[in-house]
Each structure stands twice: as C-alpha cells, then as structure tokens.
Structure 1
Amino acid sequence: MSFNFKPIGVIRTPYIDRGPFQPVESEEGEFKIILDPKYKEGLKELEHFNYIYVIFCLHRAGSSESLSAFPPWCGGKSVGVFASRSPFRPNPIGLSIVRIKKIVDNIIHTTCIDALDETPLLDIKPYIKTVDCKNKANNGWFEKYGGEGPLKKYLSSEK
C-alpha cells in the first residue's frame, strides 16, 4: 500500500542548506507558512490558537531504509530512528510545533520552524493545551546520553 500526498502550501524560512535540530522559539528570522489560496478558508478561526502543528515533507532529506540514527549530541552512539528526530526516515515527514504570530490572508507568520526554505507543507493542526500537553512526558534517552545539554537552548526559549 502506498499513499500520495500533495502539498497545500510552502514553508518559507531563512534556512537554505541546513536548519536547526528543533524549532527554537527564540530563533531570529522570518518564518512563514504560505497556504495555497484555494485552502485559505481552512484557516478560519485558527488565529484563536497560540500554537499549531506543522506537518511537512522532508523533501531534501529523502527516505531512508536505515533503522538507526546518530543524533549529534549522543557522542557517536546510535538510537533507533523512531527514537530520534532525524530527518532520514522511512517516510520523510516532518512535524513541528510553532507559535502563531499573526495570520494575514493565506499567510501564517510563526516562530522558528525547523524546515528548509521552500519545504512543501502537508497539513496544519491546532495545538490544544488540554489535549496535547502531557504532564508525564520525559526527555527519554537525553538523560542517558548527555543530560539536557543539547536541550538548553530549546528549554530556555520556552520560558
């Protein structure tokens, strides 16, 4: 079984060849989601949410058959690809949670999205605090392989 997806817009970022590993909210730059005008009506009432899930195609990473990943903060150790946020995956799909700054016409201005410029947009969903915030979440293997060192920039931006 296979699936075909068509982009519903494009993500514009300052990242041409390399982006951050996570969408760090305090990152400087212009970040926009430009929705194809035919989908503009789908943005109705979205401005009432602070955050959204952005689902996109990692079109320049391509797919990978490898089930191992080597996160840069693991000191050369491998983890399973599904225990990582590597862009090299069996299905090249990216997911970020970003804050909405404003919506003008068919353009959503956001905080940092960890996607390369002109990344194809697949979907947008609202982040709903009471449903999506999991109080028992942890940092998984981050504690085992180097503490929260790589997360410090990300964690400090969320305050």
Structure 2
Amino acid sequence: MMENRQFTPIGLIKTPYVNSAPYQPVANDEQEFYLQLDTEYVAGLKDLDSFHYIYVLYFIDRLKAEPKMEVTPPWAAGHQVGLFASRSPARPNPIGLSVVKVKQIQGDKVYTTGLDVFNNTPLLDIKPYIHDLDNKRDANNGWVAGLDEDDHLTLHIQGIPHDY
C-alpha cells in the first residue's frame, strides 16, 4: 500500500478573485496576479525568469464538491466522461495546475499573467514550462474533438469568460 503523504505549501497565490474565478487562466487579464513565496523558498527562484512560461501547482482549498468518477463538464453539452478524462476540480487529490506567463520576479514575488484561482490559494510548486519537453506535436483534444460546439469549446480552452 502507498503511504499517505502530506504537502506543505511554499507560499500563496495572490489574485483579485474572492467569490468566483475563471475556469482557465485568462492571459490578457490586466489585474495583478503573483505568487508570494515563503522566505525559505526564494532562493529557488534563481534563473526562473529565463523562462517565458511556468506550471503553477496549487491546492484547491475551497472546493466543496466531492469527487465523482464520472462527470459532465458544464460546457460539454451533456457529454459524460470519466473524472480523469476531465479537468474537473473535484478530484481525489484536489491539486490544480495552470500554465501562465512570467511577467517579472521581484524578491519573493513572481508576477504572472492571469491565474484561475482564488486569492490566497496555497501554492504547492512551480516548474518551468520547457518548449522542447512540454510541447507535444502529436497531442490531440481527445473526446472533446467530437463535440459539436467548437466555438464554445474554443472559449473554454483559451480561458475567455463567457456565458454558457
């Protein structure tokens, strides 16, 4: 059996979102977004500013929904899929992942483009997005490609706020 592990946040994510947040990062959101690292982790930021993009991993701490192994994404026109074939935040381990652009690093703060999380969300990790490792040429859209609502899907993929 696997033993239980505990994760300790390395800081907090600062966003303008208190009661609602977008479903995906909004790259052109002009509000202030940054990762506030705890002091003991600041040295780990050395050379991170040489990357254009980063992965931000965080604990989805305000989640109230219990995970279900089959879900119906609200934008998928009633299409039901397995939890692990979705981006639902309600998961056995509520860990979120966002890819954002690094704007600048100042001391213990990493300023980024728009993030899709609530203010003061616990930050678990930061990893560089490396083009030659992370850009998979044969990646596809899986079951999503079969949906009829291409325009609506595009809004979700690009993180553009819209009505369902």
Whether TM exceeds 0.5 here: the answer is yes
Query: Residue by residue, what CA displacement relative to the aligned partner does 1:49-75 show, whole Å, maximum 9, x if unpaired?
Result: 000000000011157341122211112
CA-based RMSD of the aligned residues comes to 1.8
1:36-75 equivalences in 2 (<5 Å): 36-61=38-63, 64-75=66-77
CA 1:89–1:63: 2 relative to 1, 3 Å: farther
1:91 aligns with 2:93: yes
Task: Give the conservation status (yes or no) of the 8 Å contact 2:66–2:90.
Answer: yes
In structure 1, stretches of 5+ residues that fail to align are none
Aligned length: 157
What is the Cα deviation at residue 156 of structure 1? 9.1
Match of 1:136 in 2: 138
**In 1, Cα distance between the equivalents of 2:10 and 2:65?**
21
Task: Give the conservation status (yes or no) of the 8 Å contact 1:64–1:91.
Answer: no
**TM-score of the aligned structures, taking structure 2 as reference length:** 0.88
Amino acid at match of 1:68: E
CA 1:2–1:148: 2 relative to 1, 3 Å: farther
Amino acid at match of 1:147: D
In structure 2, stretches of 5+ residues that fail to align are none
1:149 aligns with 2:141: no
